[in-house]
């Protein structure tokens, strides 16, 4: 099943909301959406995972790849919002909770920039 | 004799959601609690992703056969494929404590399977392909 991805462009931040399962089938969609933002020269990104039902290592790879790109030259950051306990476990296992800044909701995450 | 739940699917990433639903139903029926069901789903997702990527090298016409069952106090998942042999000893574990600049992107699948399940065993003695058995102790 395809991932539903919606993008809101704020003046300083792009908010990407993801709805569905993020696995090896759908992670390329997430990767593409993040890459499009980065290619447009926008490096402050919030990924809202409130409606992400599942996260596999393929999803983590897409987020980690984008994070590395936006943090290059201190030009930006990728921050996460609305991470459910189920999705959080994947980040914990991979040791990525110390790498990403995580916020309870997208308003706080957008406001943090 | 315990009941077995089985599913055969083609080697396509698009089938991962169906596999996850199947594992959730079987794991629930075998008595795993909600957290354990999620762990089993994630481990099987990673295992099947490895089968599609490495054993079948992305070819969509391979077969993945999955059997779930309760044996004593364990939930067992067996995943059989008929693709190229996969040597788990060649996979370097990820360095999850490294800073961002040193993080390798990838290599997490097998690591996740081992973390999420109590036992992960590969068996190459029963014909072609790979036979993976993963076990999780049933907690109530």
Chain B residue numbers with beta carbons less than 8 Å from the beta carbon of A65 are: 105
Mean pLDDT confidence for B27-49: 97
Structural contact between residues B37 and B28, judged by C-beta atoms closer than 8 angstroms? yes
ipTM given for this complex? 0.92
Between A65 and B105, where is the model more confident?
A: A65
Between A68 and B99, where is the model more confident?
A: A68
* Residue B123 structural domain: 3-137
Residue B109 has a pLDDT of: 92
Q: Minimal Cα–Cα distance from A8 to chain B, Å?
A: 27
CB atoms B20 and A71 under 8 Å: no
Superfamily of segment(s) A4-111: STAS domain (3.30.750.24)
Chain A residue numbers with beta carbons less than 8 Å from the beta carbon of B17 are: 1, 21, 23, 25
Work out the mean pLDDT of chain B and round it to a whole number: 92
- Which of the residues A25, A30, A31, A76 would you substitute to probe the B interface, choosing the one with the greatest number of B C-beta atoms within 10 Å? A25
Q: Which of A73-87, B25-39, B122-136 has the lowest mean pLDDT?
A: B122-136
Of B36, B67, B44, which Cα lies nearest the Cα of B136?
B36
CB atoms B100 and A60 under 8 Å: no
Chain A residue numbers with beta carbons less than 8 Å from the beta carbon of B52 are: 24
* Domain locations along chain A: 4-111
Q: Is the pLDDT of residue B80 over 60?
A: yes
Q: Which residues of chain A have pLDDT under 70?
A: none
- Residue B55 sits in a domain of what CATH number? 3.30.565.10
Half-sphere exposure of B19 (CA within 13 A, CB side): 32
- Which of the residues B20, B45, B106 would you substitute to probe the A interface, choosing the one with the greatest number of A C-beta atoms within 10 Å? B45
Top-ranked range on mean pLDDT: pick from B72-81, B86-95, B99-108: B72-81
Residue B86 has a pLDDT of: 84
Q: Which long-range contacts (CB under 8 A, 24 or more apart) does B29-34 make?
A: B29/B3, B29/B5, B30/B68, B30/B69, B30/B70, B30/B75, B30/B138, B31/B70, B31/B75, B31/B138, B31/B140, B32/B75, B32/B136, B32/B138, B32/B139, B33/B139, B33/B140
Q: How confident is the model at residue B92 (pLDDT cuts 50, 70, 90)?
A: confident
Residue B44 has a pLDDT of: 98
- Using CB atoms, which residue from B39, B49, B115 is nearest to A56? B49
Residue A100 has a pLDDT of: 97
Total domains present in chain B: 1
Residue B76 has a pLDDT of: 98
Residue B1 has a pLDDT of: 57
Distance CA A50, CA A80 (A): 10
């Amino acid at each position: 099943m395809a991932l539903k991805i919606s993008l809101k462009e704020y003046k300083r931040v792009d908010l990407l909301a993801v709805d569905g399962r993020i696995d090896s089938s759908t992670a390329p969609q997430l990767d593409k959406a993040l890459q499009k933002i980065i290619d447009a020269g926008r490096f402050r990104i919030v990924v809202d995972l409130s409606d992400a039902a599942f996260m596999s290592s393929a999803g983590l790879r897409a987020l980690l790849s984008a994070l590395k790109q936006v943090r290059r030259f201190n030009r930006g950051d990728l921050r996460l919002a609305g991470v459910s306990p189920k999705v959080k476990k994947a980040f914990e296992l991979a040791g990525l909770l110390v790498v990403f800044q995580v916020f309870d909701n997208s308003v706080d995450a957008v406001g943090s920039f | 004799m315990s009941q077995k739940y089985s599913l055969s699917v083609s080697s396509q990433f698009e089938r991962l959601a169906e596999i996850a639903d199947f594992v959730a139903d079987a794991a629930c029926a075998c008595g795993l609690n909600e957290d354990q069901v999620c762990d089993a789903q994630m481990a099987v997702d990673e295992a099947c992703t490895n089968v599609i990527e490495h054993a079948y090298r992305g070819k969509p016409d391979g077969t993945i056969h999955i059997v779930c069952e309760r044996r004593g106090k364990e939930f067992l998942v067996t995943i059989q494929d008929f693709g190229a042999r996969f040597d788990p000893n060649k996979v370097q574990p990820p360095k999850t404590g490294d800073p961002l600049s040193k993080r390798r992107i990838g290599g997490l699948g097998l690591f996740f399977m081992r973390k999420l399940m109590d036992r992960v065993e590969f068996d190459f003695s029963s014909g072609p392909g790979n036979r993976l058995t993963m076990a999780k102790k049933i907690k109530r």
